[in-house]
Structure 1
């Protein structure tokens, strides 16, 4: 295999990994968006509080962004 072939293969692999990560994040965003009521969000927060910040950082980031989006829509 030539150096060019390895670069193309590496690029394809990297792109596939990024595509899968975006797909996973969009799915997670849709799932978290279904927690719409205050009690849903409190329950979710209670669940997340049982885990460390490192484990929940992505989830909390999505939840916080969705909360801000809701606030902006209602303002």
Structure 2
């Protein structure tokens, strides 16, 4: 799947060869009077994903993720709810 792209209803999706994350076309929409979504803006091309928000370092995000994993009894989701 790396380095592959596919046309989708939401635009081209490209799989990054280095981190296997999807580059996606950004769509911003609003709800119209009929309760449907009207697209008000879209990126001209797929946008590179941000692996880690810059509010923490990669190490801090990895630690946070690991703490959740251990808190959730070594599961990747909170199954206790």
TM-score calculated relative to the size of structure 1: 0.25
Name which structure has the greater RCO, CA cutoff 8 Å, separation 6+: 1
Instruction: Return the structure number with greater strand share.
Output: 2
Instruction: Return the structure number with greater helix share.
Output: 1
